[in-house]
Structures are given as structure tokens and as C-alpha cells.
Structure 1
Amino acid sequence: MDHESKYLTPDIKLSCYEDRFFKSEIVFDQHMLVWFLSGETKIVQADSTHIFGAGDIFLIPRNQPATVINYPKDGKPHKTVVMLLTSDILKRFYQNVEIKPKTATTPKIRSFDKHPLLESCLASLIPYFDVKEPFPEHLAQLKITEAISILRMIDSNIDDFLADFDEPGKIDLVGFMEKNFIFNMPMEKFGYLTGRSLTTFKRDFKKAFNDTPQKWLTQKRLELAHYLLAQQKRKPTDVYLEIGFENLSHFSFAFKKRFGYAPKDLALTDQKL
């Protein structure tokens, strides 16, 4: 993978992937504002899939599992400007801001496609990535504050999660796992997002499912893969990345072990029928 990141500060970077694609399972610890310069990204969440390309601007909320697949496109690399809206920065911002009571909803990706104010704010950072001198800290704070202020101006509900600094509390384990099993995260992260220590997570999981987390996750992912291949006529190469497998060979091996035939054989059978 040919990847380069240029940092103005730890919270502002220019990211560039030259390779065919790059896939990661992510639960961001901080909110992330992204502006696309070139390439394409597919973000798969439990209840939605988003595709973003050149010119698009979007905000990914923290503590929300996602599969992120980055692609170069049209002969250009996958290139983005990324700004982290950290809890520390947001706490300072909201110290003297009066906000309305928040609505209890699950944070979702916000899209601000080609919005001129946000684009102007982020585009103003581009020349600094080629300057050798350090980027002034006070200027970084001003640019991030500007971005937050613009977000609040164009999205009246953005405070609901930007001003929410609570950590995940203990929630229904069965409901969460049934919704988020496609994400290939460490067990510690599953535990954190359900408000449990690793030990408590494993204990509660065994009680709820009468199985180990890894066995149950593999079974659920393979069952979903079979449905996508057989009912939605998806291709194995389009499916395995979205359901928690890291490579096609491992997916094919596990699929054949579970069902007795390879994913490609299922596709061939459907074609004959």
C-alpha cells in the first residue's frame, strides 16, 4: 500500500492512497470532518451505505462502527483533507455556547456535498501542506473553530452529538450484536461500545448466545454472505469486504467449510438455473 499523510497538526492532515484500495474496520474515537479531493470511499454501517467522491464533504461521528473502503478513481489517488473535531476542542468551543436540549438519536454520517462555506474553509488549508515552516497552533485552532461554526450554521441538529461528551453506557447486548456483527473489531471494542469490560462482555455474550463471540460472528457473517450471493446475486469479490472478512481466500475457505461449496460455485449454479 502506497500511503502518505501530511500533518499540519495532529488534528489536520492531508491523506493520500495511491494503491488499488484500502479497507479498514473503524470506530473513530473523535468526530471526523472529511473533504474529498479525488478518489472514492464506500462507508458501510449497520443500517446504511454511503459512497463519497471528489468534492464531497461529510462528517463521521465518533463511536459508530463502520467499514471504510477507499479507492483511487479515474487515474487519480484517493486524496482527502481530514479534520478531527476532538472532545477537548469541542468542550472548549461549547463552554460559552448556549445549546438547546439534545434529541436522543443515534448519530449518523452527515453529508454536506460541495458546500461552499465548508469547502472554502478546508481549501484554505491546502497551501500550508507544502510549506516547510510549522503550522501555527493558534491558526489551527481558528480553522477548526471556523469549521465547527459553519457546521452549526448549516445543520441545526449538529449540537446533538458534537456537544455530547458521554461515553457509551451499558446497552442491550443482543440488539447491538445483531445489528453490528459485520464489523471486524477487537472484542475489547465490542465490549466498550456496549458499556462492558472485556470479561463482562464475554460472560454476557455466552449467556445470551450460548457460544463464543468469534464463532457466532463468523456464523452470522457467512449466513449474510449466502443471502447476498443467492438472493441479491452479488459477487463474492463485492461481498467479503463488507461483511467482516479481510481477504477473499479466507472468506472462500470459511464459506466452503460452512456450506459445502465455494461462493463462486453458488454463483455458477444460479447462472445455470
Structure 2
Amino acid sequence: MATADIKSCYIGPEISDEQFIPEHIFFFLAKGFVEGYDGHNKYSLHSGDYCLLRKNNLARYAKQKENDQFEKVVVVFDEPFLKDFQSKHAFNTGPSYTEGTFVFFEKSDLVPNFILSLASYYQKDGKIAKSFSDVKREELLLILLQLDPGLANVLFDFSTPQKIDLKAFMLQHYRFNVSLDRLAFLTGRSLSTFKREFKQLFKDTPSHWIQQMRLQEAFFQIRQKKRKPTEVYLDLGFEDLSHFSFAFKKKFGVAPSKVGINH
């Protein structure tokens, strides 16, 4: 597929750049390579690939440029938009039909042709005017529902997360850098209930337990898997290499760069 006329574009309400997904997000990769992770599986996207990221999940991705370029189109399907769409179109809803954060579709010319159609709507700032963005979002949503009618079960489910197994969730997601409020919400608990049950279960506070789990995993990755500190600290939820190195040395008595030399 030719991508020469595609520019990076963001359609829909602004969403903070965090690892919690508050709304359904359609992601089209025009140029580059992306490796995504949702706590369960890793997913790879190449130029021309596309997927939907489901709301109320955790996810992160690492990107690589292609010929020194990285271009994507991101379309956010927020709840008010989806409710308005649902009022115009008849789609039956039911239980979510799949697990996981990333939903992929069978390849179809409909999607890349839609992406190419956006070129004439770009403004100088690389965005699309509000008067056109809702129309284009509706067009894309109709395409996706045609490709996968069962997607209606996911998109039009406006319920909040139900109470789930706290231990299993935390062991699977401690690497994600999100607030305790988000973690409580995703496990179907209030913040106070989350903290109380966490303390009863792990005999520790959430913040301290999360850091210790990350440091233990870092030690394993560096010593056993022979990975470099610069390769692991972001994967484990540390935003800053110097902070990671300080916390690591405080816990293990040795800098992460020195692990394996005398240990």
C-alpha cells in the first residue's frame, strides 16, 4: 500500500499519553514498526497494519522508525461519540467476544482507502477540523463493524470493570506505570478498598510492593538473561534510568551495570 500521502494524524478527543486506555482507540501504522504489550501477550505491527485498543485496559508500545520515519493515524472512539452513533444505528450488544487489549481485523482495502481519504482534510497543524472529524470517525466505525460485526459487543458495552482477582491482576500488570487509582478502578474496587485488600493479601503497600517486584525482575533480567540496564528499566515501569539505578543499588548493594561481574 502506498503511504506517501499519509501523515501522522489524531482524530477525536485528546487522551493523555499514559499506559491506561480510557477510551477505545483505533491505531493505523503508516510507517515504522511497533511492538505492543498488554501484560499477557506481545503484538507486532508493521507498516500498513491496524488494530483497535480496547478501553479500560493497560498497554504500552515501543516504536521504531522506518527510513527515519514514523507515521501513524490514531482515532479515538470516546463514550459520548459511541452513544450518539448507537442511537443512529441498530447494533445488538452482548458479552465481550474476545480477551486482550489489542483487537486485529482481517485485511481489507476499505481501511487503507479510508486512511488515504484523510489526506485532503488535514489542516496545517496536522489535525482534522472538528466539523469533519466526527463524520470521518463514523465512517471508520461503520467500516470496522462491517469487517467484524461482533465488535459491537465491545464498543457499546459501557459498563465499568467488575471486581476481579487482585493477586492475579497485580502479578500480571505490576510493570505498567499507572496510578493506584487506575489499578483500583481496573480491579473493580474503590481506592480505599484496593489498598486495604492489597495490604491483607501482600502484607505490603501497593507502591512499595510494585517497586520491589520491578527491582527483582530487573535483577533476573540483567543477571540471568544478560540484558543491559538500559534495555530493562523502561520495560519494568521505571521512567528514569538514574532513579532505577539508585533504587537498584539501594536494594542489592550493587549498581545494575555491575551485576554479573562479582555476583
**TM-score clears 0.5:** yes
Task: Name the stretch that deviates more: 261-270 or 196-205.
Answer: 261-270
* Distance apart, 1:72 and its partner CA: 3.5
- 1:34 is matched with which residue? 27
Q: 1:91 aligns with which of 70, 83, 103?
A: 83
Consecutive unaligned residues in structure 2, runs of 5 or more = 1-6
Q: What is the deviation of 1:134?
A: 7.5
Residues 58 and 82 (structure 1), Cα distance of their counterparts in 2 relative to 1, 3 Å cut: same
Q: CA separation of 1:94/1:205 partners in 2, compared to 1, >3 Å: closer, same or farther?
A: same
Contact 2:123 2:129 (8 Å CA) reproduced: no
Which one of 121, 124, 135 corresponds to residue 129 of structure 2? 135
**1:223-262 aligned within 5 A:** 223-262=216-255
Q: Relative to structure 1, is the Cα distance of residues 251 and 73 closer, same or farther in structure 2, using a 3 angstrom cutoff?
A: farther
Q: Which moved more, 1:177-186 or 1:252-261?
A: 252-261
The alignment-based identity, stated in percent, is: 34
TM-score, with normalisation over the residues of structure 2? Answer: 0.83
1:67 is aligned, of 39, 48, 60, to 60
The Cα shift of 1:66 comes to 1.6
Match in the other structure for 2:46: 53
Deviation at 1:62, TM superposition (A): 0.8
From the superposition, tell whether residues 217 and 136 of structure 1 become closer, same or farther in structure 2 (CA, over 3 Å).
closer
Alignment map for 1:155-166 (pairs within 5 Å): 155-166=148-159
TM-score (norm 1): 0.81
Question: Aligned match of 1:80 in 72, 85, 105?
Answer: 72
The aligned counterpart of 1:201 is: 194
Residues 6 and 100 of structure 1: is their aligned pair in 2 closer, same or farther, counting only changes over 3 Å?
closer
1:195-254: CA deviation from partner (whole Å, max 9, x where unpaired): 222222212211111111111001111122222223333222221111111122222222
Go from structure 1 to structure 2 and tell me whether the alpha carbon gap of 1:116 and 1:108 turns closer, same or farther (over 3 Å shift): same
Distance 1:267 1:162, change over 3 A: farther
- Describe the SS at the equivalent of 1:110: strand
SS of the aligned residue for 2:188 comes to coil
RMSD: 2.9
Matches within 5 A, 1:178-197: 178-197=171-190
User: Any conservation in 2 of the 1:67–1:242 contact (CA below 8 Å)?
Assistant: no
Shift of 1:143: 1.8
1:107-146 map, 5 Å: 107-112=100-105, 115-130=108-123, 135=129, 137=131, 139-146=132-139
- Is 1:106 the counterpart of 2:99? The answer is yes
- Partners of 1:197 and 1:209 in 2: CA distance: 18
- C-alpha contact 1:25 1:68 (8 A) present in aligned 2: no
Q: What is the number of equivalent residue pairs in this alignment?
A: 254
Residue 44 (structure 1) aligns with: 37
The structural deviation recorded for 1:131 is: 6.0
